[in-house]
Structure 1
Amino acid sequence: MTFVELSHPITDGMVTYPGLPGPAIREHTSRAASTAHLADGVSFAIHGIDMVANTGTYLDTPYHYHQDGADLAALPPERLVDVPIAVVRAVDAPSVGAALLGDPGRLWGHAVLVETGWSRRWGTPGYLTGSPYLTGDAARALIDANVALVGIDALNIDDVTDPARPVHNGLLGAGIPIVEHLTNLAALPDDGARLTAVPPPVRGMATFPIRALARL
């Protein structure tokens, strides 16, 4: 069994999105301090992290845009665990409309992951501006195709200059979670892989980092 890592690692101070603070990772209990209470040669470390929820590769729940939508603790596991993947190839396309999604029957019930190639810029200033995105008609087509989840390897699934945010508003309104800032989508086959992308079940939170893994 082979797994492909689809998440960016979280590192101290990294920038995920313009204007959001980077995470601060700290040592709460050092190995040296822990030895005072343990047998010779035994130690442990405990760390803490202060961060906004939209850090690294993260998942948006319906609650992110809709007050009555499911939060992290209420997400249906069938949308997140061992879900069949359909990859949409849209490398270097400035936007992804319904026509680029292809046959709706191929997408039915799948986690649809859109490869734009933008993740090549991760960690550089170029990642933060001019990112590709999905269009409103693409969101409507995905809803009609009854997809389980939608992900993208870019800064935002919406056009950040559009205050209506039709993709977030539409997909999340239909109960479809969104994953942003994916990576390594080029390593996946178009079909046949399966996705697991699970956040912690925090009540009252709308977004959170995940570790997204594809099983080949």
Structure 2
Amino acid sequence: MNKWMDISQKLVNDMVVWPGDTPFSYKVSWSMEESGSVNVGEIKMSAHTGTHIDAPYHFDNEGKRVIDLDINLYIGQAKVIHLPVKNSIGVQDLQAYDLSGVKRLLIYTGAWTNRTVFPETIPHIEEGVGAYLAKQGVQLIGLDLPSVDPVDSKELAAHHELTSHGLHILEGLVLDHIDTGDYELAALPLALAEADGSPVRAVLRKI
């Protein structure tokens, strides 16, 4: 049986986060010396740290929270495709692949080459991609980028369009070591009742 491969960013102190967002930190807040038996850690982080999913509430006050999302979307067969050296990702790029019946689509762009620095620009999802992917049957789109929109976008057009066509968003994947092809994906969000997003431990296994 093929082994599971980790496609998640490591969560470490001083890691890069979205500019202005909560820095990630972990510390032992209650040590064995203090407790007499255990070390207990404290984590402080944004819901959008590292590899994470967006819930619609992230960009829509009336949108679903993390707890409202169907967890089955984040487990199951997925296709990985490579679209490197792009300024943006459009329908014409996706048409090079047979996506009929694909429920979960993961896209390697290779655009975030240095993860110790937040990227100034990224290839964003173009208008029309949401409608096109929905027609193919895609319900989850994942990328090796911190967003599906340009980093300076306030309108978040891609977030809104993808969601309007029933697509869910998985961001911040690490796909450098993953070939194109079909895989099993597991990228479960935490059971956060009120949250607009959630970190995930995303893993793939070759089919």
Asked if Structure 1 and Structure 2 have the same fold, meaning a TM-score greater than 0.5 normalized by the shorter chain, the answer is yes
Map of 1:19 onto structure 2: 20
Map of 1:40 onto structure 2: none
TM-score by length of 1: 0.86
Q: Give the conservation status (yes or no) of the 8 Å contact 1:151–1:180.
A: yes
1:67 CA drift (Å): 3.4
Residue of structure 2 aligned with 1:54, choices 48, 54, 61: 48
1:145 CA drift (Å): 2.2
Residue of structure 2 aligned with 1:85, choices 57, 64, 78: 78
RMSD of aligned C-alpha atoms? 1.9
Counterpart of 1:58 in structure 2: which amino acid?
A: H
Map of 2:60 onto structure 1: 66
Q: Structure 1: how far apart are the matches of 2:64 and 2:204? A: 24
The 10-residue stretch of structure 1 (137-146 or 87-96) with the greater mean CA deviation from structure 2: 137-146
More helix per residue: 1
Q: Percent identity?
A: 24
1:191 aligns with 2:207: no
The SS at the match of 1:192 is strand
Q: How many residues align?
A: 205
Q: Structure 1: how far apart are the matches of 2:109 and 2:162? A: 19
Q: Structure 2: how far apart are the matches of 1:61 and 1:135? A: 20
Residue of structure 1 aligned with 2:123, choices 128, 132, 154: 132
Q: Structure 2: how far apart are the matches of 1:32 and 1:107? A: 58
Map of 2:173 onto structure 1: 182
Q: Give the conservation status (yes or no) of the 8 Å contact 1:111–1:147.
A: yes
The SS at the match of 2:113 is helix
Q: Structure 2: how far apart are the matches of 1:214 and 1:107? A: 20
In structure 1, stretches of 5+ residues that fail to align are 36-42
- Detail structure 1 runs of 4+ shifted over 6 Å in the superposition: none
Q: Structure 1: how far apart are the matches of 2:53 and 2:100? A: 20
Map of 1:118 onto structure 2: 111
Q: Give the conservation status (yes or no) of the 8 Å contact 1:131–1:154.
A: yes
Q: Deviations over 1:94-139 (max 9, x none)?
A: 1111111126752534211111102421112xx4201222111222
The SS at the match of 1:168 is helix
TM-score by length of 2: 0.89
Counterpart of 1:197 in structure 2: which amino acid?
A: A
**Which of structures 1 and 2 has the bigger CA Rg?**
1
In structure 2, stretches of 5+ residues that fail to align are none
Q: Give the conservation status (yes or no) of the 8 Å contact 1:74–1:201.
A: no
Q: Deviations over 1:14-54 (max 9, x none)?
A: 2221221311222221022232xxxxxxx321111112211
The 1:77/1:23 distance shift into structure 2, 3 A limit, reads: same
